[in-house]
Every structure is written in C-alpha cells, then in structure tokens.
C-alpha cells in the first residue's frame, strides 16, 4: 500500500518525503533551546518555524519534547506534555501538514492523537507500559525504531555480532507485538535507528543494507547532522549540511519513504532532483 492515511491526510509513500524536526527541548544536540527555555515555551515561534518548514517542502513535522541525544536525561511527563501538546494543537489547527509526535510516553501519544497528530514516532518501539494499547486505540500510523540501550547510555559501547540481522530481528518482534495489540499492519513504519546505540561501522552497514528492511514496511530514516558525519568528515554540528544531504540521497535511493531532517529546503531539493532523474530513465 503506497498511499497511507495519517489521520485526515493522505500521503503517497511510493516517493520519498521530508520530515522536518521541530525540537521543543532546551538540550537537543543540534537545535535545542530555540523555542523552549527552562521557564517558558514560545508556541508562536514554533508555529512560524513549522510554517516555514512546510513552505520549504516538509510533508511531516516531527514534534519532540524530550531529547534523545546520546547522554540525554529523561524529563518529567508533565514537562513533556507542556512542551508538545500545545504545539501539536497549534500546527494541526493552522497548517496542512502531518504532525508526527516524537515520544515514548503513552499519555503524550493519547493527547497528541486527540489533537490531530497523524503519526506516533517512538524511539523505544512502543515498549513502555501502555504504549501499544494507546497506539492501537489512536488508530493512526506508528513508527517503531531500534535502539540498543537507552539515550543515557546507548553510545558507551554498543556491540553486535550481525547488526543488520539483529536490528531486523528486533523490529520484526516489535512489529508482531504491534499487530497482536491491534495495530493495523499497514500502519506500521520501520526505523533502523541510525546513531541509537551504534558505532559508525554499524551505521554504515545499516545504510548499505537498507533495502533489506523494505519488506517490513515503509522506512523512516534519520541521519541528519548525526555525530557519525562529524567523525567521518571532521565537521562540527553546524558544518554537516553536505554530509546530511549525501546520506539523505543514499537513504532515499535505497528505499527510505521518509527522511527526517533539520535542513528542509536543501533536502527537498535533493529529493526533487532524484525524482526527476529517476523519471527521466523510464
């Protein structure tokens, strides 16, 4: 099924789409602190940013209220709710775009879906108590991601015998758990979890074998500004645009349906060129 309903909006996943990152956090590795301080949340500024992202070519806006960068500490449920729900509500009321919610908290999932969110994007693959049940009741697509360990410790010393096989096995098990909980098979998206409990060699292997995951469902891939780019190219986080674009194109060529990025217009241009070139071959 190439056309999928994300709440009230239909998206054709036979071509790659841009998911724009909107971090409502003070401490995300790349863009934390834009809209949130320890004492206030600027919903109007977040909405203006989301509108700009839509105009630049984003089909999805991924709203997150808890950083999942390596070493990140968890926040309270109330903090996450306060950061996420008003922004989801503002975007769904004002913009023609799918709102994705980057959360592992069942309560945030429930309230975000009630506000019109179209995708639940969980780095913990719906493993928290109650998450599967809430996701099933929401009856909107979910994205399950692989992560070895937790954000606080995941990059300390990740190890695999066969990273592609182990990641795929985990995702297959979680996919079955989703189905068993009542989530429709066509509503399950897959994310191999680049940079989440993986060394550079693991990330490279996953990218090289990304097509191995295509039979599991639509692929959502996040490589934008990752630390891997910094290490391989010796670039600070604000100098990783070229590396991010190269990896976005590789991911799209290897089957990614959605690429999660910080640099929306540039990535949208890359994907547009890729589409033109592919169509000209037929």
Question: Would you tell me how many other CB atoms lie within 10 Å of the CB of residue 201?
Answer: 11
Q: Please name the helix (run of DSSP H) or strand (run of DSSP E) that holds residue 94, with its range, or none.
A: helix 77-94
Q: Are 192 and 217 in contact (CB under 8 A)?
A: no
Compute the half-sphere exposure of residue 84: CA atoms within 13 Å on the CB side of its CA: 34
Q: Are 109 and 101 in contact (CB under 8 A)?
A: yes
Token pair of 57 as six digits: 């070519």
Token pair of 87 as six digits: 């922004």
d(CA 20, CA 52): 10
Select which of 260, 272, 275, 281 is catalytic: 260
CA 73 distance to own-chain centroid: 19
Select which of 226, 231, 272, 278 is catalytic: 226
Q: Write the CA distances from 256 to 128, 216, 247, integer angstroms.
A: 26, 12, 11
Q: Is 260 a catalytic residue?
A: yes
In the block, tokens 């989440």 appear at: 196
d(CA 270, CA 242): 11
Q: Are 24 and 65 in contact (CB under 8 A)?
A: yes
Q: Write the CA distances from 257 to 67, 89, 131, 188, 207, integer angstroms.
A: 24, 25, 24, 13, 14
Q: Is 226 a catalytic residue?
A: yes
Query: Catalytic site residues?
Result: 226, 260
């Amino acid at each position: 099924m190439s056309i999928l309903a994300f709440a009230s909006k239909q998206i054709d996943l036979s071509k790659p789409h841009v998911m724009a990152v909107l971090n409502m956090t003070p401490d995300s590795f790349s863009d934390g602190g834009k809209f949130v301080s320890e004492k206030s949340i600027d919903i109007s500024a977040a909405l203006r940013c989301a509108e700009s992202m839509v105009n630049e070519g984003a089909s999805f806006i991924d709203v997150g209220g808890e950083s999942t960068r390596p070493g990140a500490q968890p926040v309270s449920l109330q903090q996450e709710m306060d950061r996420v729900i008003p922004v989801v509500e503002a975007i769904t009321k004002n913009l023609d775009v799918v709102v994705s919610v980057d959360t592992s908290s069942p309560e945030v999932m429930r309230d975000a879906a009630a506000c019109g969110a179209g995708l639940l994007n969980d780095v913990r693959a719906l493993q928290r108590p109650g998450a599967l049940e809430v996701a099933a009741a929401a009856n909107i697509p979910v994205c399950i991601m692989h992560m070895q360990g937790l954000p606080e410790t995941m990059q300390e010393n990740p190890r695999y015998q066969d990273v592609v096989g182990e990641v795929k096995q985990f995702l297959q098990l979680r996919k079955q758990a989703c189905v068993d909980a009542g989530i429709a098979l066509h509503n399950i998206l897959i994310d191999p979890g680049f940079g989440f409990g993986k060394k550079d060699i693991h990330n490279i292997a996953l990218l090289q074998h990304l097509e191995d995951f295509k039979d599991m469902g639509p692929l959502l891939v996040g490589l934008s500004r990752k630390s891997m780019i910094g290490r391989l190219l010796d670039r600070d986080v604000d100098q990783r645009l070229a590396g991010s674009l190269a990896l976005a194109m590789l991911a799209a060529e290897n089957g990614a349906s959605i690429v999660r990025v910080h640099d929306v217009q540039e990535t949208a241009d890359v994907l547009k060129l890729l589409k033109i070139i592919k169509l000209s071959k037929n």
